[in-house]
Structure 1
Amino acid sequence: MFYTDYKLQFPVRVETPSPVFARALQQAIGGVEGEIRVAMQYMFQAWGMKGPGSARYRDLLLNTAAEELGHIEMLATAVALNLEGAPLELQEEGAADAAVGSIMGGRNFRQFLSAGLGALPVDADGVPFDMSHIYASGNIAGDMYANITAEGTGRTLATRLYHMTNDAGMREMLAYLIARDTMHQNQWTAVLEELEAENPQMPVPNSFPQAEENQEFSYAFLGFTADGAEPPAGRWSEGESVDGKGTFTTRAMEPMGDVPTPPAPRPGTYPQTSQLPDQ
């Protein structure tokens, strides 16, 4: 159950409205790096969290998910404020104004046509967020790694938006969001650190017995160059593995299987006659 106090999490102000920047802000709302993504990801991870001792991690996820809903509200408010002042009719005098010119130039027609100069659950190209980038595996370590990635890409996006604008109000809001991304990267890493203190977390899932995997390839870095040259060397190719359970090696990969022989097509699937076996 969720509650609201009708107030923004952080002040949102725009000194110089810009429909161009309003479109850019849509990426932070409905883009794959955006706030809808992380809000839904943390909620579904929390709702699917099981096992003894998981309650506080579930609470952590839900609190952060609620925060991310507030970020969506902030950004939607910022979009509306950046669209403020654009003419309601594209043909009226003043259509040469920079604001409506941006709309007429295709910056984001739907913010005008579909939302009445408001935000939409879409990215900067107008593509609706379809939930396909929600990662909630039910494995706490796997989910935490996914969350660190989500916050890393989100912070990268926010810093790019920060440098796209000189508007003091927008920079103030983005500086706050960037700081929260910093915290969230740290808190998800802290969960992994806490779990690691109890027992090793890698490889994920650590509940699967490694004796049942093909251990010849567990820590081998494989090269797939056509000439069979050695693949690039680095920390990943020699020495103790990061999980401390093996030693990295390097080898050029050679095919171990035969040329695949697909089964014959069934007549009822209507291939061409040349595909059918001899009758």
Structure 2
Amino acid sequence: MYLHTELLINEIANDEPDPAAANALQEGLGGQFGEMRTMMQYLFQSMNFRGDAAAKPYKDLLQGVGTEEISHVELIGTTIARLLDGAPGYSGKKTDPVDAPGAKGATPLTIAKDTGNIHHFLVGAQGALPVDAAGNPWSGSYVYNSGNLVLDLLYNLMLESTGRLQKCRIYEMTDNKAARSTIAYLIVRDQAHENAFAKALESLGVNWGKVLPIPKTNAEAFPEVKKLVDQGLQSIQYTFSADNKSEADKLYRGASPSNDGTELTTEFMPSGGEPITIAPERREEFSPGLDPELLALIQATAEEEIRQSDRPAGS
């Protein structure tokens, strides 16, 4: 059972809409090494897990990381939507600013023709899509679940390493503060997950460092990343175990495999969080929210049902 808290796992910095940055982030969402892939891969591995009681810490670790990946999908998807929301009024193109949809005779959706992914406007009404940066749909064939614990953990370590590498590249592609705040957070959490799978492999006697060394990206050079690393966020893993039955702490402990001098620890879930807000309607996309007349009918129906339920039996 999964419970949802109406908080984003990390704050998204405020900046102007940027459809091109939104499209680059699509790779981190729906690409082969993106957040949709990690979420589905770890959850399927945990659901399909087999073994006796001694194997439970491994299942719990996969479950905890997979659950966190759900929040990463929510975070990166929301960031993409914010980078797109209001994009017709994008004023970052200094040579030809458009202050508002239709201003000075401009076509409201003109920016969609030559910036980013046109499907963000044609199909998604300025929202995230389950695709990569080239527009290819996300595929379930990305998910690797061999049933062999060592193979799965090795593959997971490779997946996190490749995902972190790609996010470092995306960071270098844009200076948009909203995009970078999310990218930086995911870079650090990818490192935490690399630590998780590396520790699990070590407990199984696998000398993973010689087989699959974690690539050095020097992402700490990015100021947003350094701030989070200085807080030790790369060395914490969340269990999301509401009944406190997770045994992931049997694996996620001791010196960090990143060799950064930190000790690994587990926590139930992140503290704090960023309130989730609902974006305004986009009239130029013909995507209004609730129809006022329909909403009034629903409210009237609900009030009548309440009156009926409050009547004494047999009346």
TM interval, short-chain normalised: 0.5 to 0.7
Cα distance, 1:92 vs. partner? Answer: 4.1
Larger gyration radius, structure 1 or structure 2: 1
Relative to structure 1, the CA distance from residue 94 to residue 68 in structure 2 (aligned partners, 3 Å threshold; closer, same or farther) is: farther
**1:50 matched to which residue of 2?**
50
Asked whether the equivalents of residues 131 and 138 of structure 2 are also in contact (C-alpha less than 8 Å), the reply is yes
Q: How does 1:1-279 map to 2 (within 5 A)?
A: 1-52=1-52, 53-87=54-88, 92-93=102-103, 100-105=109-114, 107-196=116-205
Cα distance, 1:102 vs. partner? Answer: 4.4
Structure-2 separation of matches of 1:180 and 1:164: 20
Structure-2 separation of matches of 1:129 and 1:113: 18
Can you give the 5+ residue segments of structure 1 that lack an aligned partner in the other structure?
204-279
Asked whether the equivalents of residues 29 and 121 of structure 1 are also in contact (C-alpha less than 8 Å), the reply is yes
Deviation per CA, 1:25-57: give whole Å up to 9, x if none.
Answer: 111110001000000000111111111222111
- 2:157 is aligned with what amino acid? I
Relative to structure 1, the CA distance from residue 83 to residue 38 in structure 2 (aligned partners, 3 Å threshold; closer, same or farther) is: same
Structure-2 separation of matches of 1:102 and 1:196: 55
Cα distance, 1:74 vs. partner? Answer: 0.6
Structure 1 SS opposite 2:16: coil
Structure 1 SS opposite 2:140: coil
Deviation per CA, 1:212-260: give whole Å up to 9, x if none.
Answer: xxxxxxxxxxxxxxxxxxxxxxxxxxxxxxxxxxxxxxxxxxxxxxxxx
Asked whether the equivalents of residues 17 and 84 of structure 1 are also in contact (C-alpha less than 8 Å), the reply is yes
Asked whether the equivalents of residues 33 and 162 of structure 2 are also in contact (C-alpha less than 8 Å), the reply is yes
Q: State the identity %.
A: 38
Give 1 or 2: higher helix fraction. 2
Can you give the 5+ residue segments of structure 2 that lack an aligned partner in the other structure?
90-100, 212-315
Asked whether the equivalents of residues 85 and 127 of structure 2 are also in contact (C-alpha less than 8 Å), the reply is no
Considering only aligned residues, what root-mean-square deviation do their CA atoms show, in Å?
A: 2.6
Cα distance, 1:172 vs. partner? Answer: 2.3
Asked whether the equivalents of residues 21 and 176 of structure 2 are also in contact (C-alpha less than 8 Å), the reply is no
Structure-2 separation of matches of 1:55 and 1:113: 46
Asked whether the equivalents of residues 14 and 170 of structure 1 are also in contact (C-alpha less than 8 Å), the reply is no
Structure-2 separation of matches of 1:167 and 1:87: 17
- 1:59 is aligned with what amino acid? D
Structure-2 separation of matches of 1:71 and 1:137: 24
Deviation per CA, 1:182-233: give whole Å up to 9, x if none.
Answer: 1111110110100118x99xx9xxxxxxxxxxxxxxxxxxxxxxxxxxxxxx
**1:213 matched to which residue of 2?**
none
**1:243 matched to which residue of 2?**
none
Cα distance, 1:173 vs. partner? Answer: 2.1
Structure 1 SS opposite 2:198: helix
State the number of aligned residues.
198
Structure 1 SS opposite 2:141: coil
TM-score when normalising by structure 2: 0.58
User: Per chain length, whose mean CA-contact separation is higher, i.e. which structure has more relative contact order (CA < 8 Å, sep 6+)?
Assistant: 2
Relative to structure 1, the CA distance from residue 94 to residue 159 in structure 2 (aligned partners, 3 Å threshold; closer, same or farther) is: farther
- 2:153 is aligned with what amino acid? M
Structure-2 separation of matches of 1:13 and 1:112: 23
